[in-house]
Protein backbone atom coordinates (compact mmCIF):
# COMPACT_ATOMS: atom_id res chain seq x y z
CA UNK A 1 0.00 0.00 0.00
CA UNK A 2 1.24 3.44 -0.90
CA UNK A 3 -0.86 4.93 1.87
CA UNK A 4 2.01 5.45 4.30
CA UNK A 5 4.08 7.32 1.72
CA UNK A 6 1.16 9.56 0.80
CA UNK A 7 0.27 10.26 4.43
CA UNK A 8 3.84 11.24 5.20
CA UNK A 9 4.09 13.47 2.13
CA UNK A 10 1.07 15.63 2.99
CA UNK A 11 1.61 19.04 4.61
CA UNK A 12 0.58 19.08 8.27
CA UNK A 13 -2.25 21.55 7.66
CA UNK A 14 -3.90 19.41 4.97
CA UNK A 15 -6.38 16.82 6.21
CA UNK A 16 -6.52 13.46 4.46
CA UNK A 17 -9.94 11.95 3.94
CA UNK A 18 -9.22 8.39 2.87
CA UNK A 19 -11.85 7.40 0.34
CA UNK A 20 -12.83 3.81 1.11
CA UNK A 21 -15.61 3.17 -1.39
CA UNK A 22 -15.57 -0.41 -2.75
CA UNK A 23 -12.77 -1.34 -0.30
CA UNK A 24 -13.18 -4.20 2.15
CA UNK A 25 -13.26 -3.79 5.90
CA UNK A 26 -9.89 -5.60 6.08
CA UNK A 27 -8.31 -3.10 3.73
CA UNK A 28 -9.77 -0.16 5.62
CA UNK A 29 -8.39 -1.53 8.89
CA UNK A 30 -4.91 -1.32 7.39
CA UNK A 31 -5.44 2.42 6.91
CA UNK A 32 -6.84 2.65 10.42
CA UNK A 33 -3.70 0.99 11.73
CA UNK A 34 -1.64 3.69 10.01
CA UNK A 35 -3.53 6.25 12.08
CA UNK A 36 -6.10 7.36 9.49
CA UNK A 37 -9.37 8.40 11.16
CA UNK A 38 -11.08 10.50 8.48
CA UNK A 39 -12.76 8.20 5.96
CA UNK A 40 -14.98 9.07 3.01
CA UNK A 41 -17.74 7.16 1.23
CA UNK A 42 -19.93 8.29 -1.63
CA UNK A 43 -22.97 6.06 -1.06
CA UNK A 44 -25.17 5.98 1.98
CA UNK A 45 -25.78 2.21 2.15
CA UNK A 46 -22.10 1.36 1.88
CA UNK A 47 -21.30 4.02 4.46
CA UNK A 48 -23.83 2.54 6.88
CA UNK A 49 -22.45 -0.99 6.41
CA UNK A 50 -18.91 0.18 7.11
CA UNK A 51 -19.91 2.37 10.01
CA UNK A 52 -21.44 -0.74 11.60
CA UNK A 53 -18.40 -2.92 11.09
CA UNK A 54 -15.52 -0.57 11.82
CA UNK A 55 -14.21 1.12 14.99
CA UNK A 56 -16.40 3.92 16.28
CA UNK A 57 -13.63 6.50 16.50
CA UNK A 58 -13.56 6.79 12.71
CA UNK A 59 -14.93 10.12 11.45
CA UNK A 60 -17.07 9.44 8.39
CA UNK A 61 -17.43 11.89 5.51
CA UNK A 62 -20.18 11.65 2.91
CA UNK A 63 -18.58 12.82 -0.34
CA UNK A 64 -21.13 11.69 -2.94
CA UNK A 65 -24.55 12.93 -3.93
CA UNK A 66 -27.05 12.72 -1.08
CA UNK A 67 -30.79 12.26 -1.51
CA UNK A 68 -32.96 13.99 1.04
CA UNK A 69 -34.76 10.80 2.04
CA UNK A 70 -31.44 9.25 3.14
CA UNK A 71 -30.25 12.04 5.40
CA UNK A 72 -31.97 10.47 8.41
CA UNK A 73 -29.78 7.36 8.24
CA UNK A 74 -26.48 9.20 8.52
CA UNK A 75 -27.52 12.15 10.69
CA UNK A 76 -26.79 10.37 14.00
CA UNK A 77 -23.07 9.97 13.30
CA UNK A 78 -21.81 11.65 10.11
CA UNK A 79 -18.80 13.92 10.65
CA UNK A 80 -19.11 15.99 7.51
CA UNK A 81 -21.27 16.15 4.38
CA UNK A 82 -19.20 17.45 1.43
CA UNK A 83 -21.83 17.31 -1.27
CA UNK A 84 -24.49 19.84 -0.32
CA UNK A 85 -25.90 21.52 -3.42
CA UNK A 86 -29.51 22.47 -2.68
CA UNK A 87 -31.33 24.49 -0.05
CA UNK A 88 -33.90 21.73 0.34
CA UNK A 89 -31.10 19.36 1.26
CA UNK A 90 -29.79 21.94 3.73
CA UNK A 91 -33.24 22.07 5.37
CA UNK A 92 -33.43 18.31 5.62
CA UNK A 93 -29.95 17.99 7.15
CA UNK A 94 -30.85 20.74 9.61
CA UNK A 95 -34.06 18.99 10.63
CA UNK A 96 -32.37 15.62 11.16
CA UNK A 97 -29.42 17.17 12.98
CA UNK A 98 -31.77 18.85 15.46
CA UNK A 99 -33.64 15.58 15.99
CA UNK A 100 -30.31 14.02 16.92
CA UNK A 101 -29.25 17.00 19.07
CA UNK A 102 -26.31 17.53 16.77
CA UNK A 103 -24.69 20.22 14.66
CA UNK A 104 -23.65 18.68 11.35
CA UNK A 105 -20.70 20.23 9.50
CA UNK A 106 -21.34 20.66 5.79
CA UNK A 107 -19.53 21.88 2.68
CA UNK A 108 -21.13 23.36 -0.41
CA UNK A 109 -20.25 21.45 -3.55
CA UNK A 110 -19.39 23.86 -6.35
CA UNK A 111 -19.26 22.69 -9.95
CA UNK A 112 -16.30 24.06 -11.87
CA UNK A 113 -15.40 20.98 -13.93
CA UNK A 114 -16.29 21.10 -17.60
CA UNK A 115 -17.70 17.58 -17.53
CA UNK A 116 -21.39 16.84 -17.71
CA UNK A 117 -21.54 15.76 -14.08
CA UNK A 118 -24.88 16.74 -12.75
CA UNK A 119 -24.11 17.82 -9.24
CA UNK A 120 -22.92 20.98 -7.60
CA UNK A 121 -23.88 24.61 -7.31
CA UNK A 122 -22.97 26.61 -10.40
CA UNK A 123 -20.43 29.36 -9.68
CA UNK A 124 -22.80 32.08 -10.84
CA UNK A 125 -25.43 30.83 -8.37
CA UNK A 126 -23.12 30.46 -5.41
CA UNK A 127 -23.50 33.91 -3.88
CA UNK A 128 -27.28 33.83 -4.08
CA UNK A 129 -27.20 30.38 -2.47
CA UNK A 130 -25.10 31.66 0.42
CA UNK A 131 -27.36 34.69 0.88
CA UNK A 132 -30.42 32.44 1.10
CA UNK A 133 -28.53 30.14 3.44
CA UNK A 134 -27.72 33.01 5.77
CA UNK A 135 -31.33 34.19 5.86
CA UNK A 136 -32.47 30.89 7.31
CA UNK A 137 -31.95 29.99 10.95
CA UNK A 138 -30.11 26.67 10.88
CA UNK A 139 -29.38 25.50 14.40
CA UNK A 140 -28.31 22.07 13.25
CA UNK A 141 -25.79 23.05 10.60
CA UNK A 142 -22.28 24.41 10.58
CA UNK A 143 -21.22 25.58 7.12
CA UNK A 144 -17.50 24.89 7.06
CA UNK A 145 -16.50 25.62 3.48
CA UNK A 146 -16.50 24.43 -0.10
CA UNK A 147 -15.89 21.18 -1.97
CA UNK A 148 -15.12 20.77 -5.62
CA UNK A 149 -13.68 18.54 -8.29
CA UNK A 150 -11.56 19.34 -11.29
CA UNK A 151 -12.23 17.86 -14.69
CA UNK A 152 -10.71 14.39 -15.06
CA UNK A 153 -8.04 15.39 -17.48
CA UNK A 154 -4.39 14.92 -18.31
CA UNK A 155 -4.20 18.62 -18.94
CA UNK A 156 -2.56 19.83 -15.72
CA UNK A 157 -3.08 23.43 -16.75
CA UNK A 158 -6.84 22.99 -16.95
CA UNK A 159 -6.92 21.18 -13.61
CA UNK A 160 -4.80 23.93 -12.07
CA UNK A 161 -7.10 26.65 -13.39
CA UNK A 162 -10.16 24.87 -11.99
CA UNK A 163 -8.61 24.55 -8.54
CA UNK A 164 -7.63 28.20 -8.71
CA UNK A 165 -11.24 29.02 -9.53
CA UNK A 166 -12.47 27.01 -6.54
CA UNK A 167 -9.97 28.75 -4.27
CA UNK A 168 -11.18 32.13 -5.54
CA UNK A 169 -14.82 31.21 -4.84
CA UNK A 170 -13.82 30.04 -1.37
CA UNK A 171 -11.98 33.28 -0.61
CA UNK A 172 -14.77 35.46 -1.99
CA UNK A 173 -17.47 33.74 0.04
CA UNK A 174 -15.34 33.71 3.16
CA UNK A 175 -14.44 37.39 2.92
CA UNK A 176 -17.90 38.60 1.97
CA UNK A 177 -20.14 36.43 4.11
CA UNK A 178 -18.09 34.69 6.79
CA UNK A 179 -15.45 37.24 7.58
CA UNK A 180 -16.12 37.07 11.30
CA UNK A 181 -16.74 33.33 11.32
CA UNK A 182 -13.47 31.51 11.79
CA UNK A 183 -15.11 28.13 11.16
CA UNK A 184 -15.57 28.74 7.43
CA UNK A 185 -12.14 27.25 6.87
CA UNK A 186 -12.31 24.10 4.73
CA UNK A 187 -11.56 23.85 1.04
CA UNK A 188 -12.03 20.19 0.07
CA UNK A 189 -10.35 19.58 -3.27
CA UNK A 190 -7.91 17.08 -4.70
CA UNK A 191 -8.16 13.34 -5.49
CA UNK A 192 -5.60 10.67 -6.38
CA UNK A 193 -4.67 12.10 -9.74
CA UNK A 194 -4.58 15.78 -8.83
CA UNK A 195 -4.17 16.29 -5.08
CA UNK A 196 -0.69 17.76 -5.40
CA UNK A 197 -1.95 20.49 -7.72
CA UNK A 198 -4.91 21.07 -5.38
CA UNK A 199 -2.61 21.54 -2.39
CA UNK A 200 -0.55 24.08 -4.30
CA UNK A 201 -3.78 25.97 -4.92
CA UNK A 202 -4.76 26.06 -1.27
CA UNK A 203 -6.66 22.85 -0.57
CA UNK A 204 -7.06 22.13 3.14
CA UNK A 205 -8.66 18.71 2.72
CA UNK A 206 -7.86 16.08 0.09
CA UNK A 207 -10.11 13.13 -0.70
CA UNK A 208 -7.80 10.36 -1.86
CA UNK A 209 -8.93 6.86 -2.81
CA UNK A 210 -7.27 4.65 -5.40
CA UNK A 211 -3.70 5.96 -4.95
CA UNK A 212 -3.67 4.80 -1.31
CA UNK A 213 -4.13 1.16 -2.23
CA UNK A 214 -1.51 0.79 -4.96
Ligand X SMILES: *Cc1c(COP(=O)(O)O)cnc(C)c1O
**Contact set with ligand X (CB under 6 A):** 19, 21, 42, 63-64, 191-193, 207-211
DSSP tally for the chain: helices H, then strands E: 8, 8
> Closer CB to ligand X, residue 14 or residue 98?
14
Instruction: Note whether 5 and 197 are within 8 A (CB).
Output: no
CB of 109 to ligand X, least distance (A): 8
CB of 96 to ligand X, least distance (A): 21
CA distance 72 to 45: 12
CB of 66 to ligand X, least distance (A): 11
Cα–Cα nearest to 160, from 200, 126, 131: 200
Tell me which residue has its CB nearest to ligand X.
Answer: 209
How many Å separate Cα 88 from the centre of its chain? Answer: 18
CB of 195 to ligand X, least distance (A): 8
> Closer CB to ligand X, residue 111 or residue 140?
111
CA distance 100 to 211: 35
> Closer CB to ligand X, residue 140 or residue 209?
209
Amino acid sequence: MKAKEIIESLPKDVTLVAVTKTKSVQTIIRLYDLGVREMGENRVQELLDKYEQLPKDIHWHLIGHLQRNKVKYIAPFISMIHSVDSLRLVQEINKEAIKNSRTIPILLQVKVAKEESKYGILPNELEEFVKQFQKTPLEGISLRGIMGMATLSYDDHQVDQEFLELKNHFDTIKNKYFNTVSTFDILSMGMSSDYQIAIERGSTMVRIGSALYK
